[in-house]
Amino acid sequence: EVQLVESGGGLVQPGGSLRLSCAASGFTFTNYAMTWVRQAPGKGLEWVSAISGGGGSTYYADSVKGRFTISRDNSKNTLYLQMNSLRAEDTAVYYCAKDRGIAVAFVASDYWGQGTLVTVSS
């Protein structure tokens, strides 16, 4: 059974940093691209970032480019999202998701974690 468990969310002040983790199990982690998607309170889904199975290709939404860094440790079956220079508009539930293929392009996300809430406020 595929399982994705996010952690690391919480309350952080504007300008602060946070690192999210996503522990994966039930599939061969290195064979699949992974994605972060966020959802602000009461709003729709926003694609944030994605990384290929080997970790060599990374992609970002313009809204987070230069502030967020996606990475993965395939030896630990774990996905990360390092978030720096956080803003109030980054407040959201952050979901990690497994993609259907090893490359980022052309594939949907078939399994999702339950999400972790990040609140940016003073």
Q: Which positions touch other proteins (CB under 8 A)?
A: 35, 37, 44-47, 50, 59-62, 95, 100, 104-115
**Residues in Cβ contact with 59 at an 8 Å cutoff, skipping those fewer than 6 apart:** 49, 50, 51, 104
End-to-end Cα separation, the chain, in angstroms:
40
Q: Cβ neighbours of residue 43 under 8 Å, at least 6 residues apart?
A: 92
| Between 59 and 84, CB nearer to other proteins | 59
For residues 39 and 91, which CB has a smaller minimum distance to other proteins in the complex? 39
Nearest-approach distance from CB 60 to other proteins, in angstroms: 8
Minimal distance, residue 88 CB to other proteins, in Å: 21
CB 119, min distance to other proteins, A: 17
Closest CA to 16 of 108, 117, 88: 88
